[in-house]
């Protein structure tokens, strides 16, 4: 109920209380008044009538006496009329009194008066009869002995009646006083009750208005102190409730903003770490290429020195491991070169299913739920495999005592609302890949750090802490989003969104190429500013039968071509970023002269940097450093055979 309505209602009720109070008071007073008035009127009438009887009886008595005493016939006649009149008057008064009298004592008195009157009438007739018959002495005797006492008696009865009625007046007055006192008490009680009710009503009204406001103040203070949890309880429907609701809504919004901020901070942190890792990785790549390359070459010339061979092999193993690490770091920092294709994730999952089965343990049930009519995505299938594999391994490790692992694909639409709560998301059509487990789950803190490189909850030596970082980097680099939902003890699910891409899916070619390497004789122009890498690369290529010309930069390469009048070069293998002239520029110049020239770029840098040099076009061949002699040979052969 609105505060206004409540106030109106409350005040109306109070007014009503007061009105009832006034009315009941008035009614009580009126009742007393009526009673008093009625009582007084009644008793006064009775007294009056009793007096009438007494007077009339007296008149009658006097008339009889006159009749006895006067010899005048005319006087006697009128005295008789007087007696008739008095008799009728007494009769009327008695009748009236009988109709009014209700007490038994009064009735008894009336009855007696009536008896005496009728007796008196008869006596008077006898006396008059005697007088008229001139039996005067008899009349006098009769009057004195019989009638006179009766008359006195009647007089006394009337007096008694008057006294009695006066007593009655006193009594009814006392009764009225009693009623008055009772009414006063009742009025007092009603008054106090009404006042109490009014007070309670006021208190209740005030409370009902102030208490939600106080709650609001407490809530705001709490928020100010840093506790941003919103109110869960129901709000009243009045203005105070609306205010509270608005405050609550504001706090919820603040929470959302804070969450986004956190996401932003996290993203920035990952970005910074990525940049650092990427920078390190680039230099490492060159070094690792050299280490790996030369140890490989050295191995070829060991010739039976088993101890030396073992040492070189160890170097090789270490360099391979280091290479893997840098690759992962590059992946995380989104600086690796992706070979984007239109991919049907369902097909990809189908191909992977067998391998995934090998990765997980027996106590884990794996289930793949592919969506019907799943949209295509624009990703590097090889990296996609890496993503899925990493997530599956992660899920496996989260379920040490077994559980259920679900990989699910769905078409998903990302709307504005979703974007509000998910930093960086853009509305549109997406394909969602969800990997869920029923494992131990993650606490909020762990969730926050999950994608950071070298963060791991696993025992030392068991995990590199780069698995989820790699996933994060690949997804981001592919233009997708990744979010984690996790609850401690219940499990975790990773939701990855890739923008939907229209088109026919490309054929999937798995990275492991089984084609045999052949001995070749094509001419390769190698341009590499890093001398160690250049030497290694040329050594490897020559080992495979290629004729290799080396240059340390673009200008040198052009001069080389001119000086040696190289008419035919099959392949240009060039670093992308070099002083003086970029690999791209060089390639363009040479292609203008040798249109059939094939180009293979190589770089320790990542997509971003390379893209700035205008290289990452769809049909550009690219080899990421560090490369192994084998991967170099295979890539070169692949480009030449196209």
Partner 1 sequence: MIRKIGLWLVIALMVFDGRPSSGNSMELTGAGATFPYPLYNEMFSSYRRQFGLLVHYKALGSSEGIGRILKKEIDFAASDAFLTEPERKMAREAVVHIPTCLGAVVIIYNLPSNPPLRFTPDLLADIFLGKIQKWSDPRITAVNQRQSLPDMPITLVHRKDGSGTTFILSEYLSKVSKEWREKVGTGKLLKWPIGQSAKHNPGVAGLVQQISGAIGYVELTYALGNDLTMGEIRNKSGRYIRPGVESVTLAAQTALPADTGISLTDTPALEGYPLTSFTWLIVYREQNYNGRWREQAEELVKLLWWIIHEGQRYTKPLQYAPLPDEAVQKAEALIKTITYKGHKLWP
Look at the block and give the residue holding tokens 């008229």: 132
**Is there binding between residue 45 and partner 1 (CB under 8 A)?**
no
- β-pairing, 598-603 vs 571-575, is parallel
Give SS3 for 604. coil
| Whether the Cβ atoms of residue 261 and residue 423 lie closer than 8 Å to each other | no
Q: Among residues 9 and 81, whose Cβ is nearest to partner 1?
A: 81
Size of the site for partner 1 (CB under 8 A): 24
Q: Among residues 78 and 228, whose Cβ is nearest to partner 1?
A: 78
CB of 29 to partner 1, least distance (A): 28
What is the DSSP secondary-structure string of 561-602? HHHTT-----EEEEESS-SSS-HHHHHHHHHHH-TT-EEEEE
Tokens of 287: 């070094």
**Is there binding between residue 77 and partner 1 (CB under 8 A)?**
yes
Q: Among residues 97 and 251, whose Cβ is nearest to partner 1?
A: 97
Interacting span for partner 1 (CB under 8 A) from 82-90, 105-113, 187-195, 318-326: 82-90
Interacting span for partner 1 (CB under 8 A) from 70-78, 100-108, 342-350, 559-567: 70-78
CA–CA separation, 557 and 591 (whole Å): 13
Q: Which one of 20, 23, 88, 199 is in contact with partner 1 (CB under 8 A)?
A: 88
Q: Which one of 57, 64, 67, 86 is in contact with partner 1 (CB under 8 A)?
A: 86
Q: Among residues 154 and 352, whose Cβ is nearest to partner 1?
A: 154
CB of 193 to partner 1, least distance (A): 47
CB of 107 to partner 1, least distance (A): 21
Based on DSSP, count helices (H) and strands (E) in the chain, helices before strands.
17, 12
Interacting span for partner 1 (CB under 8 A) from 47-55, 216-224, 467-475, 533-541: 47-55
**Is there binding between residue 74 and partner 1 (CB under 8 A)?**
yes
**Is there binding between residue 56 and partner 1 (CB under 8 A)?**
yes
Helix axes 104-132, 73-100, angle to 10 degrees: 170
Question: Which H or E run contains 439?
Answer: none
Interacting span for partner 1 (CB under 8 A) from 81-89, 422-430, 457-465, 509-517: 81-89
Q: Which one of 79, 238, 437, 556 is in contact with partner 1 (CB under 8 A)?
A: 79
Q: Which one of 6, 42, 55, 360 is in contact with partner 1 (CB under 8 A)?
A: 55
CB of 98 to partner 1, least distance (A): 13
CB of 77 to partner 1, least distance (A): 5
**Is there binding between residue 228 and partner 1 (CB under 8 A)?**
no
Q: Which one of 24, 66, 85, 464 is in contact with partner 1 (CB under 8 A)?
A: 85
Q: Which residues of 210-225 are buried (b: 16+ CB within 10 A; e: fewer)?
A: eebeebbeebeeebee
**Is there binding between residue 195 and partner 1 (CB under 8 A)?**
no
Q: Among residues 87 and 212, whose Cβ is nearest to partner 1?
A: 87
**Is there binding between residue 355 and partner 1 (CB under 8 A)?**
no
Helix axes 148-224, 3-69, angle to 10 degrees: 170
CA angle at 437 for the pair 431 and 439, rounded to the nearest 5°: 155
Site for partner 1 in 197-216 (CB under 8 A): none
Q: Which one of 46, 54, 82, 544 is in contact with partner 1 (CB under 8 A)?
A: 82
CA–CA separation, 616 and 353 (whole Å): 31
**Is there binding between residue 78 and partner 1 (CB under 8 A)?**
yes
Q: Which residues of 173-191 are buried (b: 16+ CB within 10 A; e: fewer)?
A: eeebeeebeebeeebeebb
| Whether the Cβ atoms of residue 449 and residue 266 lie closer than 8 Å to each other | no
| Whether the Cβ atoms of residue 425 and residue 384 lie closer than 8 Å to each other | no
**Is there binding between residue 91 and partner 1 (CB under 8 A)?**
yes
Residues across the chain: 642
Site for partner 1 in 124-153 (CB under 8 A): 129, 132
Alpha helices in 373-490 (DSSP H): 381-398, 416-421, 444-449, 467-477
Question: Which H or E run contains 307?
Answer: helix 306-332
Positions touching partner 1 (CB under 8 A) are: 48, 52, 55-56, 73-74, 77-82, 84-92, 95, 129, 132
């Amino acid at each position: 109920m609105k505060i206004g309505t409540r106030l109106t209602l409350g005040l109306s009720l109070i007014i009503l209380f007061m009105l009832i109070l006034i009315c009941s008071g008035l009614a009580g007073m009126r009742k007393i008044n009526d009673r008093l008035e009625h009582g007084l009127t009644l008793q006064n009438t009775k007294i009056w009538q009793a007096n009438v009887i007494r007077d009339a009886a007296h008149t009658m008595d006097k008339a009889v006496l006159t009749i006895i005493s006067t010899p005048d016939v005319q006087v006697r006649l009128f005295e008789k009329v007087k007696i008739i009149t008095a008799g009728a008057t007494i009769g009327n008064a008695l009748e009236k009194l009988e109709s009014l009298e209700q007490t038994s004592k009064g009735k008894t008195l009336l009855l007696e008066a009536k008896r005496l009157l009728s007796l008196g009438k008869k006596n008077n007739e006898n006396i008059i009869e005697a007088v008229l018959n001139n039996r005067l002495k008899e009349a006098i005797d009769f009057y004195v002995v019989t009638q006179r006492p009766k008359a006195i008696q009647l007089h006394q009865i009337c007096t008694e009646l008057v006294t009695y009625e006066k007593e009655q007046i006193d009594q009814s007055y006392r009764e009225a006083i009693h009623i008055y006192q009772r009414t006063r008490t009742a009025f007092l009680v009603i008054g106090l009750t009404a006042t109490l009710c009014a007070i309670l009503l006021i208190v209740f009204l005030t409370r009902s208005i102030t208490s939600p406001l106080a709650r609001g103040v407490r809530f705001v203070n709490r928020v100010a102190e840093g506790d941003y949890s919103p109110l869960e309880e129901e709000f009243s429907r009045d203005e105070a409730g609306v205010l509270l609701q608005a405050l609550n809504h504001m706090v919820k919004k603040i929470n959302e903003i804070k969450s986004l901020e956190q996401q932003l901070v996290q993203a920035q942190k990952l970005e910074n770490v990525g940049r650092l890792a990427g920078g390190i990785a680039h230099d490492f790549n060159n070094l690792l290429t050299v280490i790996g390359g030369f140890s490989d070459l050295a191995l070829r010339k060991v010739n039976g020195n088993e101890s030396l061979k073992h040492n070189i092999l160890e170097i090789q193993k270490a360099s391979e491991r280091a290479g893997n690490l840098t690759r992962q770091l590059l992946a995380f920092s989104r600086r690796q070169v992706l070979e984007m294709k239109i991919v049907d994730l369902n097909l990809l999952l189908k191909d992977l299913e067998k391998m995934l089965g090998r990765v997980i343990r027996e106590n884990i049930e794996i289930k793949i739920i592919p969506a019907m009519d799943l949209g295509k995505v624009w990703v590097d299938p090889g990296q996609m495999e890496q993503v899925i594999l990493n997530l599956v391994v992660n899920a496996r490790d989260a379920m040490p005592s077994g559980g259920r692992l679900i990989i699910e694909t769905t078409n998903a639409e990302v709307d504005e609302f979703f974007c509000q709560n998910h930093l960086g998301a853009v509305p549109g059509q997406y394909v969602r890949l969800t990997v869920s487990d029923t494992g131990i789950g993650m606490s909020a803190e762990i969730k926050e750090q999950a994608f950071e490189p070298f963060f791991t909850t696993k025992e030392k030596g068991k995990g590199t802490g780069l698995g989820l970082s790699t996933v994060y980097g690949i997804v981001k680099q592919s233009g997708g989003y990744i979010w984690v939902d996790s609850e401690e003890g219940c499990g975790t699910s990773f939701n990855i969104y890739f923008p939907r891409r229209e088109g026919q899916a490309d054929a999937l070619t798995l990275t492991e190429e089984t084609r045999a390497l052949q001995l070749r004789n094509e001419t390769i122009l190698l341009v590499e500013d890093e001398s160690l890498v250049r030497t290694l690369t040329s050594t490897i290529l020559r080992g495979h039968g290629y004729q290799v010309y080396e240059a340390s930069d673009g200008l040198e390469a052009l001069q080389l071509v001119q000086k040696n009048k190289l008419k035919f070069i099959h392949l240009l293998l060039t670093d992308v970023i070099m002083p003086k002239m970029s690999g791209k520029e060089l390639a363009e110049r040479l292609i203008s002269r040798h249109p059939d020239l094939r180009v293979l770029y190589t770089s320790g840098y990542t997509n971003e940097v390379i893209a700035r040099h205008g290289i990452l076009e769809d049909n550009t061949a690219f080899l990421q450093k560090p490369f192994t002699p084998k991967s170099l040979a295979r890539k070169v052969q692949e480009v030449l055979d196209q």
